[in-house]
Chain A
Amino acid sequence: MLSRRTFLEIAAASGLAAHLGCAGGPSAKKRKKLAIIASIWRYLSHAQHFGDRFLVGYPRKGRWHHPEMDVVSLYVDQKPEGDQSRARADEFGFQVYPTIQEALRCGGDKLAVDAVLLIIEHGDYPRNAKGQVLYPRYEMFQQVVEVFEQDGRAVPVFNDKHLSYDTAKAKKMVADSKRLGFPLLAGSSLPVTWRIPAIEFPLDCVIEEALMVGVGSSDASDYHALEAMQCMVERRRGGESGVKSVQLIQGEAVWKAGEEGRWSRRLLEAALARSNKLLGDTLIDARPQDLANNGQLPKIVKEPAAYFIEHADGLQSTLLMLNGGVQDRTFAARLQGEPEPQSLLFQLPPIPNVTYSACLAEKIEEMIETGQAPFPAERTLIVSGILDHCLESKVQGNRKLETPELQISYRPPAGSHFCRA
């Protein structure tokens, strides 16, 4: 086992240390250089989770893996109390630059990195009337794209979480990546984290109905849940066909919709059967519960919400946000020809390790190494748009909204990308 000290010693002895920092130098094996553009970098922020994986390594397939690439530059938009950007830069020999342009060019006049990690999550940003945090992902992405254009070279970009709170801006981001021909990987850790059980739907299965149970706040956690559901349903026959309409309902109407069959209680039972964090009476004495059917949910979930998504090919998928009922994220779907629904838990390992971020770091590395995004940014694009429109529905009196902007079709990856090795 290598301690950090030992690792650094070995790195220095083998000449690897020479490649730390933008100055770099001729190298025997060219290590890729990364720029990180972050909102903030402090303990347990996303930039810290992901950035550190590239600094100190992370567990991968039962080994501690050190990416063969170096963080050479960092831009942080805000430096709140607890900021670690300076300390990390000093320890790991990279530079913190005052602008995105300088970070990408390492203070020079040309793009000087091989990949960009855009991690704009956490930090102090305003919210709009729809409850969306106005993270400047699009705006910062544009600055990155401008450097690519000015310098005549584009490199892979990872965008943490959804693309932009605004569908049009999100679309522009994906369009820019296509226009300039650089791979764009985006999204949540949920699609790639551990699943219990470790199942993936076969490509081109026929999905009759899908239901996701999510928890947490809007517009952070509902986004994660939507993307988890999307990575499952996109594998259906024909791939993703786009979204025709969405509707977000709240309160009593959610239970009423269940009684009317707008969402399936059977699928809810299948999903909750996977939950390891039931609340309500389970908190009293640890009893197991048939929470989908025992009548407790309306009592303990004070502010339920249902996000209804009508896909162009007719699939209905539903996200139920059940804060107060459970504390984990589960999914169920009915596949044609199968008597029983299938369901799973998206297992999010606990703080502080949050090893789900290691699962995503592996995919980021894969993109940087191969120049191909392992799964399409269109997944995150459509989810960004679904969320944006659901929150619009919320402020428009929970009415159903047609979504011609979400005629986004794409094919899922042929392979499976969740953590299971």
Chain B
Amino acid sequence: MPRAPLPGLSRRNFLSAAPLTAAGGMAAAVPSRKRPRIAAVVSEYRRYSHAQHIVDRFLWGYGWGNRHHRPPMDVVSVYVDQTPENTLIHDRLRRFPKMKKYPTIAEALTQGGSRLAVDGVLLIGEHGKYPKNEKGQTLYPRYEWFKEITRVFRDSGRSVPVFNDKHLSWKWEWAKEMVDISRELDFAFLAGSSVPVTPRLPSIDMPLGVEIEEALCLAVGGMDGYDIHALEGLQCMVERRRGGETGAASIHGLKGDPVYEAMNAGSWQAGGWDPELFQACLCRSHSLTPSRDGFNHVLPGLEEVPRLISERTPVAYRFEYLDGLKGTILLMEGLVMDFTFAARLKGGEVISTQMFLPPREVCNFFNPQCHHVEQMFLTGKAGYPVERTLLTTGLTAAGVDSVWQGQKRLETPHLDIRYQPTRESTFWRS
């Protein structure tokens, strides 16, 4: 989208701000063919895996606007790392013969040749059987695959846009390197969760340039899986504050009873969060577990919250930004089953919304995400900054680390990530 250069813009963003050089650098010259060719590099392709949800949308099309939209591009190659018994990859290869499966990532990107032979890459390293480390992080090989992808770019002297599903890597240094490489090789790089782009109830965005004092995202799910979604939900809102994003200064990860102590503290200053923001999130939820038998919808008292929450949560990450903003994500599975957000603006006003995730049978929150990926493949520009996901990746890793280190508050000098948000809203509202 057109926008004037702003302080803090990376070189890549600056280049993409100038229409004439949009395809400049190594990314130049998408061959003049009608339909871009896409390679999918995925962990596993089975019902409900992210690969199924995303690649299926490129194959079958999806509801977008007022029609069933079929992306004007072809998935021509796929690398599938794992093929469990219930894999759908063979079914999809049969149904969509344009798509060929290759045994390596390099071959998928070159279509079995010697040079890059696709115009865009989907990197979907989510789901599948991968080891966990001592901190509980699943070691999805996103970084490793990204390196293989970009090795082909280097060897071919040409780069194409890449979409990375969810956070960049479980390891901060690797995530940072991924973004650095995308700048060096000058290709559009889009990443992250679908939470920032899904419909909102109500359909609001953070007004650009407001001053925010504190923000909170209340979410379902556990650590190393849903923390990133909650962080992205919060970050896509607060990055719109005055001055844009400044980066994070510290994080404090809490799990179990300390979360309830924080909840009862009554304020950020006292070690918790603003109870009014918490209540606003509960009021935006459409899946608030009733705290009383025989009632379908009641606002629980704080003392009732613990018994409503499932075993693997609660989890809280409390973090401070370099410009003084306070943020909290709460994973409280059982209390709610959805994603809600609230923020207190300077002057006291509270704004809140739900980031709506349609039911999993269809998972249409992937529609707006696929739309943005598609647009990137067509235009060579990412619709929102990858620095958002770099920061949330760093916060995720630091939050896990903080909990692992005995729920110790950690300084995060490495997360001084500055970037500017898009001027236009990018969530699904049409």
A interface list, Cβ under 8 A from B: 1-6, 43-44, 48-49, 52-53, 56-60, 62-64, 84, 87, 194, 196-198, 269-270, 272-278, 282-290, 292-293, 332, 340-343, 347, 349-355, 358, 419-421
Contact = CB atoms under 8 A, between A and B. Distances in A.
B286 interface: yes
Given A4-B292, A352-B296, A63 B203 contact: no
Contact of A350 (B69, B287, B304): B287
Interface stretch (B173-181, B226-234, B356-364): B356-364
Interface string B333-358: 00000000010000000111100101
Contacts of B47: 284-286
Contacts of B294: 43, 84, 87
Nearest to A356: B286
B297 A358 contact: yes
A197 B429 contact: yes
8 contacts: A62-B280, A196-B201, A269-B66, A276-B358, A288-B56, A341-B66, A353-B286, A353-B288
Nearest to A286: B47
Contact of B286 (A6, A49, A53, A355): A355
B252 interface: no
B212 to A, nearest CB: 16
The DSSP consensus for interface residues of chain A is loop
B266 to A, nearest CB: 11
Given A3-B301, A285-B52, A352-B296, A273 B63 contact: yes
B301 A4 contact: yes
A284 B286 CA distance: 27
Q: Quick one: which of B201, B275, B288, B356 has the most chain A CB within 10 A?
A: B201
A286 B62 CA distance: 12
Given A1-B278, A4-B298, A196-B356, 15 more contacts: A1-B275, A2-B299, A3-B300, A56-B297, A62-B342, A84-B294, A269-B66, A273-B67, A276-B359, A277-B358, A287-B56, A288-B57, A288-B62, A288-B364, A355-B286
A276 B362 contact: yes
Nearest to A58: B297
Nearest to B95: A287
A388 to B, nearest CB: 31
Given A285-B88, A286-B48, A287-B56, A59 B300 contact: no
B284 A59 contact: yes
Contacts of B358: 276-277
Contacts of A278: 361-362
Nearest to B303: A3
Contacts of A421: 202
Given A62-B284, A352-B297, A286 B363 contact: yes
Interface residues of B, number: 62
Query: Chain B binding site: helix, strand, loop or mixed by DSSP?
Result: loop
Interface of B: 47-48, 52-53, 56-57, 60-69, 88, 91, 199, 201-203, 275, 278-280, 282-288, 290, 292, 294-304, 342, 350-353, 356, 358-364, 428-430
A196 B198 CA distance: 11
Contacts of B279: 1, 63-64
Contacts of A288: 56-57, 60-63, 362, 364
A211 to B, nearest CB: 12
A5 B91 contact: no
A8 to B, nearest CB: 11
Q: Which 8 A-B pairs have the closest CB atoms?
A: A3-B301, A276-B358, A273-B63, A349-B286, A59-B283, A290-B68, A62-B352, A352-B296
